Structure 1
Amino acid sequence: MSVPYETAACEPPDSSDSPEEHLARLLGRALNSFELPDETIRRLDCALAHDGSLHSAHHSAGLHRETYRHTWLLADGAALTLWELVHNTVPGSEPQHEVYVDEEELRTATARLPLPPEAPDFELPVTAPAFTLPAVRQVYVPDDSPDHARRLLRRAENEDRPDAETAALLSTACAHRITQAFGRPSRAGRAALCFSLYEHAFLLSDGGEVSLWEVEHTVTPDGRHMCEVYASEDAARRAMERRAAQGRRTPERGPGPA
């Protein structure tokens, strides 16, 4: 495809920025960014896509704490996560930002914050601004959904795309929604690769729900956009990692004839 889908209205601010810009903004606001290992920063220099989401939050007596998970897809096919802690030290004070490379460091930093001992469990997410999507993700659009499913499966070029049984099931769809699940297409590194991931969720006539996961990328001989469709998010993300590794092994195309 040559034109990406429109993203949800509650998408995080500046989500069209490149992975490098997301990283620069995170490091610029974090008070302890200088403590991050140099190797981590070097690996993030070749990021292909960025995804940010709220992990947990707690608000009590004017004090607040939120944690965010920032994940980057790297050019070698791996994924790297940084954890951001946002909190205030006294009621009404400006929020402070900290960044950590693993959850254990994040837990240690969170434990020292002046929050009541009855704070909710760390893993329990609550509604908060910025990266929250549940309200929008539940909205389905009744817009010839069976035809949308047919067109999606028809343009999929991967051999392991969903089978005829899935196609038959989706012929009963009465509504659908499209959600961008991992970044927007963006160019990064010498390979100049583009990646994006979309969830196509279908509401069936019997009330059931089925999702297809579309990977759009440019790991092709001529750099064109290629569409692959998978039946699960895990399968789609594994495909992204494989394609990223493949793109890193492929020599960069030189300039064409003058």
Structure 2
Amino acid sequence: MSVPYDFEPTTAPEAAPDDELARLLGRALNSFELPEETLRLLDTALAYDTSLHSAHHSAGLHRETYRHTWLLADGSSRTLWELVHNTGRDGLPQHEVYVTEDELHLATGRLPLPPEAAPAFDLQAPIAPVQLAPVPPQRRTFGPADPDSSVDHARRLLRRAENPDATTRPGPGTARLLREACAHQITQAFGRRISHGFALYEHAFLLRDGCEVSLWEVEHTATPDGRHMCEVYLTQQAARAAIERRTGCSQGHQ
């Protein structure tokens, strides 16, 4: 399938390390607590690896801990620890992320699970940075196919884009491509560099040939009259850069 001139793919054969970081931060309820210095280091990582560290399942409750490791440019590595459990009131999976094993151990100890569920940190073996390799991305799960709804959603999304620079808006090529959409999914992006008063959404579309296309929508009220405004970009990087530019302009007028 040919790609229109104005469409920039947002997915690669292998997920980039910073994409894996964004996914982790997006699902973690406490990602805002992570040190900015740690996030800046991980933003420049060269490779990524993850593994299940420990797990416990009993009486309908479960807890898993995962080790996420990034290889940095200087040859060192940094690790974040993810805790996944369903011990909340609604029983839905909850994700938390921690910088150290001690923090993870304390968080695990607060869960209503028996003592033997605590992770066995003394069994931990270090990972050699040279062994790190990107993990193949998991395929996105879309809902039931509904071409009419997905095509209409794409049309409305493109119509409400008010990018200050018209050249940054998705063009006719993207519009033609999305006429082949048969399913779509909307998720809100959290984590780093989302300024207060802004919201960032990924609109993912599944095409008839099995390919996936994502557009990134920025919602905000950083306008002279305070009205609600939407901007749409081809890549997450472009959308986040637009948020940073808007934030800078807003601060400059104060």
Q: TM-score, normalised by structure 2?
A: 0.52
Given that 1:140 and 1:203 are in contact with CA atoms closer than 8 Å, whether structure 2 keeps it comes out as no
Matched residue, 2:99: 84
Given that 1:195 and 1:216 are in contact with CA atoms closer than 8 Å, whether structure 2 keeps it comes out as yes
Given that 2:55 and 2:117 are in contact with CA atoms closer than 8 Å, whether structure 1 keeps it comes out as no
Matched residue, 2:85: none
Matched residue, 1:153: 158
**5+ residue gaps, structure 2:** 1-25, 38-47, 57-63, 68-79, 83-96, 107-114
CA distance in 2, matches of 1:119, 1:64: 20
CA distance in 2, matches of 1:218, 1:245: 14
The amino acid of 2:219's aligned partner reads E
Deviation, structure 1 residue 222: 1.7
Given that 2:182 and 2:205 are in contact with CA atoms closer than 8 Å, whether structure 1 keeps it comes out as yes
Aligned partner (choices 180, 186, 193) of residue 188 of structure 2: 180
Given that 1:149 and 1:170 are in contact with CA atoms closer than 8 Å, whether structure 2 keeps it comes out as yes
Aligned residues: 169
Deviation, structure 1 residue 247: 1.5
Given that 2:66 and 2:81 are in contact with CA atoms closer than 8 Å, whether structure 1 keeps it comes out as no
CA distance in 1, matches of 2:135, 2:100: 14
CA distance in 2, matches of 1:113, 1:235: 43
Given that 1:176 and 1:203 are in contact with CA atoms closer than 8 Å, whether structure 2 keeps it comes out as yes
Superposition map of 1:54-203 within 5 A: 56-59=50-53, 66=67, 67=80, 84-86=99-101, 87-88=104-105, 92=116, 115-117=124-126, 137-143=140-146, 144-158=149-163, 159=166, 160-182=168-190, 193-203=196-206
Call closer, same or farther: CA 1:117–1:212 in 2, change over 3 Å: closer
The alignment yields a C-alpha RMSD, in angstroms, of: 4.4
User: CA deviation digits over 1:121-147, x for unaligned, max 9?
Assistant: 567679xxxxxx957x42244341111
The percent identity for this pair of structures is 48
CA distance in 2, matches of 1:141, 1:124: 30
SS at match of 1:171: helix
SS at match of 1:142: coil
Select the structure that is richer in helix: 2
Q: TM-score, normalised by structure 1?
A: 0.51
Aligned partner (choices 214, 219, 230) of residue 216 of structure 1: 219
Given that 2:65 and 2:81 are in contact with CA atoms closer than 8 Å, whether structure 1 keeps it comes out as no
Call closer, same or farther: CA 1:199–1:22 in 2, change over 3 Å: closer
Deviation, structure 1 residue 234: 1.0
Given that 2:216 and 2:239 are in contact with CA atoms closer than 8 Å, whether structure 1 keeps it comes out as yes
CA distance in 2, matches of 1:64, 1:178: 27
The amino acid of 1:174's aligned partner reads C
Matched residue, 2:22: none
The amino acid of 1:116's aligned partner reads A
Deviation, structure 1 residue 68: 5.2
